[in-house]
Structure 1
Amino acid sequence: MLLAIWGGLFLAAVLIFFTWDMPRADAALARQRRPSVTLQSSDGNLLATQGDLYGETLRLRDMPRHLPAAILAIEDRRFREHFGLDPVGIARALYRNFSEGDVVQGGSTLTQQLAKNLFLSSERSFRRKVQEALMALWLESRFSKDQLLEIYLNRVYLGAGAWGVDAAARVYFGVSARRVTLPQAAILAGLPQAPSRHNPRSNPDGATARGRDVLAAMRDTGAITEAQMEAAIEEMQIPPRPSRNGGWFADWIFEDVPTKFPDSRDLVIRTTLDRRWQQAVESRLAALLDREGAAARVGQGAVVVLDVESGAVRAMAGGRDFRTSPFNRATDARRQPGSTFKTFAFLAALERGASPGDAVADGPLRMGGWSPSNGHWRTRGSVTLEEAFAQSVNTAAVRVMQQGGGPRAVAEAAHRLGVEGRFGRDASVVLGTGEATLLDMTSAFAALANGGRRVTPFGMARIEGVNLAMPAMPQVVEPGTAAQMRRMMQAVTARGTGRAAAVPGVVTGGKTGTTQDYKDAWFIGYAALPGGTVAIGIWMGNDRNQPMEDVRGGTLPARLFREVIEARLSGG
Structure 2
Amino acid sequence: MAQRGSRRAASTSRKQNAKPVRRKPTGWRLWLRRVFVWGGFLSLLGVLFLGLAVVFAARSLPSYQELKATQNAQTIIVRARDGTEIVELGPSFGKWLTSDEIPQVMKDAMISVEDRRYHSHFGVDPIGLGRAVFVAATGDKRLGATSTITQQLARNVFLNSNRTLDRKLREAVLAMALEWKFSKNQILELYLNKVYFGGGAYGIDSASRKFFSHPGTELDTAEAAIIAGLVKAPSRYSPTADVQAAVDRAQVVLRLMKEQGRIDPSITVDPSAVKLKEDKSQNSVRYFTDWALPQLDLLLPETFEPIEVWTTLDVGMQQTAAASIKSNTPNNAQGALVSLDRDGAILAMIGGTDYVETNYNRAADAVRQPGSSWKLFVYLAALEAGYTPEDMVKDVPVTIDGWSPRNSGGAYAGDINLRTAFAYSKNTVAAQLGNEVGFGTVASMAKRFGITTPISTVPSMVLGSNETRVIDMTRAFAAVSAGGKSIEPYGIVKVTTASGELLYQHEKSGGSTLVPDYVAAGITDLLQTAVNTGTGKAAQIGRPVAGKTGTTSSNKDGWFIGFSSGITTGVWMGRDDAKAVPGLQGGRAPAQAFAAFMRYAVKDRPVEQFNTELKLPEWQLEPDDEFYFGDPDDYYYIDEQGNLIEPGAGRDPNNPVPQPNGQATPGDVSRRPQVPENDAPPAASDDFLNRATGEGSAAAPAQNRPKPAQRVPSPPPQQQPAPRTNPAAPVN
* TM-score with structure 1 setting the length: 0.67
Q: Distance in 1 between matches of 2:160 and 2:336?
A: 43
Name 1:427's counterpart in structure 2: 459
User: How far apart are residue 554 of structure 1 and its match?
Assistant: 1.1
> Would you say the 8 A contact 2:338–2:350 is kept in 1?
no
Q: Distance in 1 between matches of 2:413 and 2:558?
A: 26
User: How far apart are residue 331 of structure 1 and its match?
Assistant: 2.2
Name 1:551's counterpart in structure 2: 584
User: How far apart are residue 415 of structure 1 and its match?
Assistant: 0.9
Q: Distance in 1 between matches of 2:363 and 2:479?
A: 18
Q: Distance in 1 between matches of 2:215 and 2:75?
A: 29
Name 2:341's counterpart in structure 1: 308
Alignment of 1:77-156 (within 5 A): 135-137=181-183
Name 2:554's counterpart in structure 1: 517
- 1:2-23 deviations in Å (ceiling 9; x for gaps): xxxxxxxxxx99x959954754
- 1:503-552 deviations in Å (ceiling 9; x for gaps): 2x233221111222222221111232xxxx32221222233332232422
- Work out which of the residue numbers 476, 484, 494 in structure 2 matches 1:452: 484
Cα 1:119–1:457, aligned 2, differ >3 Å: closer, same or farther?
closer
Q: Distance in 2 between matches of 1:128 and 1:401?
A: 68
Name 1:258's counterpart in structure 2: 297
One-letter amino acid of the counterpart of residue 265, structure 1: F
Name 2:596's counterpart in structure 1: 563
User: How far apart are residue 161 of structure 1 and its match?
Assistant: 2.4
Alignment of 1:150-549 (within 5 A): 159-163=198-202, 193=228, 196=234, 201-202=240-241, 238-261=277-300, 263-266=302-305, 267-289=307-329, 293-294=330-331, 299-376=332-409, 378-402=411-435, 405-464=437-496, 466=502, 468-470=505-507, 472=509, 473-503=511-541, 505-528=542-565, 533-549=566-582
SS at match of 2:594: helix
SS at match of 1:163: coil
Structure 1 unaligned spans of 5+: 1-11, 61-66, 78-88, 91-110, 141-147, 174-179, 211-235
> Would you say the 8 A contact 1:156–1:164 is kept in 2?
yes
Q: Distance in 2 between matches of 1:347 and 1:326?
A: 35
- 1:310-355 deviations in Å (ceiling 9; x for gaps): 2122222333334444333222222221111111111122223322
Q: Distance in 1 between matches of 2:558 and 2:349?
A: 18
SS at match of 1:26: coil
> Would you say the 8 A contact 2:211–2:276 is kept in 1?
no
User: How far apart are residue 492 of structure 1 and its match?
Assistant: 1.3
One-letter amino acid of the counterpart of residue 560, structure 1: A
User: How far apart are residue 416 of structure 1 and its match?
Assistant: 0.9
User: How far apart are residue 399 of structure 1 and its match?
Assistant: 3.3
SS at match of 1:554: coil
User: How far apart are residue 356 of structure 1 and its match?
Assistant: 1.6
User: How far apart are residue 390 of structure 1 and its match?
Assistant: 0.8
> Would you say the 8 A contact 1:512–1:553 is kept in 2?
yes
What do you get for the CA RMSD once the two structures are aligned? 4.9
Structure 2 unaligned spans of 5+: 1-46, 109-118, 121-149, 162-167, 251-274, 605-732
Cα 1:181–1:568, aligned 2, differ >3 Å: closer, same or farther?
farther
Q: What is the identity percentage for the equivalent residue pairs of Structure 1 and Structure 2?
A: 30
Cα 1:252–1:237, aligned 2, differ >3 Å: closer, same or farther?
closer
Q: Distance in 1 between matches of 2:474 and 2:490?
A: 13
Question: Which structure has the larger Rg over C-alpha atoms?
Answer: 2
User: How far apart are residue 488 of structure 1 and its match?
Assistant: 1.7
Q: Distance in 2 between matches of 1:523 and 1:138?
A: 62
Cα 1:70–1:564, aligned 2, differ >3 Å: closer, same or farther?
farther
Q: Distance in 1 between matches of 2:92 and 2:177?
A: 27
Once the two structures are overlaid, the 10-residue window that deviates more, 440-449 or 158-167, is 158-167
* TM-score with structure 2 setting the length: 0.54
Higher relative contact order (CA 8 A, sep 6+): 1
One-letter amino acid of the counterpart of residue 317, structure 2: W
SS at match of 2:461: helix
